Amino acid sequence: MDVVEPEDIPLPDEPELEEESPYLRRQKAVAVRRSRLSRRLRLVLRGALFGILVLIPVGYVGYRLAAFALTSPRFLLTFPADVVVEGNGFVSRDEILSALGIPVPEKLGLGINLFRLSLEVKRKQVESIPWIRSATLTRAYPHRLAVHVVERTPVAFVNVGGQVKLVDAEGVLLEKPEKGVFDFPVLSGLEAEGGGAERRSRLALYEQFTRELAEEVPRSGWLVSEVDVTDADDLKALLIQGQETLLVHFGHNDFLPRFRNFLTLWPEVRKAHAKVDSVDLRYQNQIVVDPVGAVAPNPPGSGEADGRDNGRLRIE
């Protein structure tokens, strides 16, 4: 009878040794070798390398270019013809060159380096000329300076201290240029009390008046000789037709309708009076007439029913 050893009897639930376990085992961590250089140190080294390879060469090239530009004779203004002036009509070229500090003779000595010029400073020097409203300066390489100016536009003559001058829309007084023909009325009232804003306001009133009547007045045969804006609520104009001179009160608005009303009613005025000192157009659909030699007028509507107020005639 054979005897069976206990080791040789397989156990019913014993797993085979070669069977894989259903559970995942944690894998062994892989050791990471850390760099001995910190991140900050690496950034410093990269920056230094960038500076050595890029910034220093670029800086050196820029330095050499700047030195070349500031010393090379290629960029020198040596003749007045190297300055190109555009836009000037009343201001002479020599006056602009003088404002730039450039002598008028044919040669500029050792020359003026184009890069050493401050365009902002030179622009202000050109704009210091009263007739120049604005200026633009541009370097035109290799050795040209372009100057473009915008001159002021006069709108009237003014009498200042017994001298007749021109004035633009901003109230800047201008000397009459040698070359230039102007046909403007003589404007008064700008010397009234008030600052620059008040002067510009009075000039704006005058410009509105001339703009509205620019075509109607010449067609009518009348000529505007003088305009008074002393009273901002009552613009007064001296009109001339042949040998007749007439002062007209226009108020401060509706200049064209009032002038047309004047042209319509003027024949009746001439029938009533051979000579008229002034007319007032500030009242709707009527004109108030001051004959020559009339006494001080009363306000409209305060006289008798025949339309006369102490020599003042109202025509509707």
pLDDT in tens, the chain (316 residues): 455 555 555 555 555 545 555 555 555 555 555 555 577 767 766 766 666 766 666 665 555 555 544 555 566 777 778 889 999 999 999 899 889 888 776 655 556 777 778 889 999 999 999 999 999 999 887 778 899 999 999 999 998 777 889 999 888 989 988 878 899 999 998 875 556 788 888 999 999 999 999 999 999 999 999 999 999 899 999 999 988 899 999 999 999 999 999 999 899 888 887 788 999 999 877 788 887 655 444 444 444 334 444 445 566 6
Comma-separated ranges of CATH 3.40.50.11690 domains in the chain: 154-315
The β-bridge relationship of strands 112-113 and 276-280 is unpaired
d(CA 282, CA 252): 9
274 CB-side CA count, 13 A: 0
- Distance in Å from the first CA to the final CA of the chain: 161
d(CA 278, CA 206): 19
The residue to which tokens 């064209």 are assigned:
256
> What pLDDT does 109 receive?
55
> Residue 158's closest CA among 179, 184, 177, 192?
184
Which residues contact residue 213 at a Cβ distance below 8 angstroms, ignoring those fewer than 6 apart?
Answer: 224, 255, 256, 259
The β-bridge relationship of strands 276-280 and 244-251 is parallel
Please state whether the predicted TM-score (pTM) of the whole model is above 0.85: no
Comma-separated ranges of CATH 3.10.20.310 domains in the chain: 74-151
d(CA 234, CA 91): 36
Cβ atoms within 10 A of the Cβ of 116, count?
10
CATH architecture assignment, domain 74-151? Roll (3.10)
Q: Which string of b and e fits 41-59 if b means at least 16 CB within 10 Å?
A: eeeeeeeeeeeeeeeeeee
> What pLDDT does 160 receive?
78
> Residue 238's closest CA among 204, 198, 189, 166?
189
> What pLDDT does 291 receive?
79
**Tokens of residue 199, six digits:** 């002067």
> What pLDDT does 141 receive?
79
> What pLDDT does 130 receive?
93
d(CA 216, CA 93): 39
Secondary structure class of 267 (helix, strand, coil) = helix
CATH 3.40.50.11690 is held by the domain 154-315: yes
Measured in whole angstroms, the distance separating CA 134 from the mean position of its chain's CA atoms is: 8
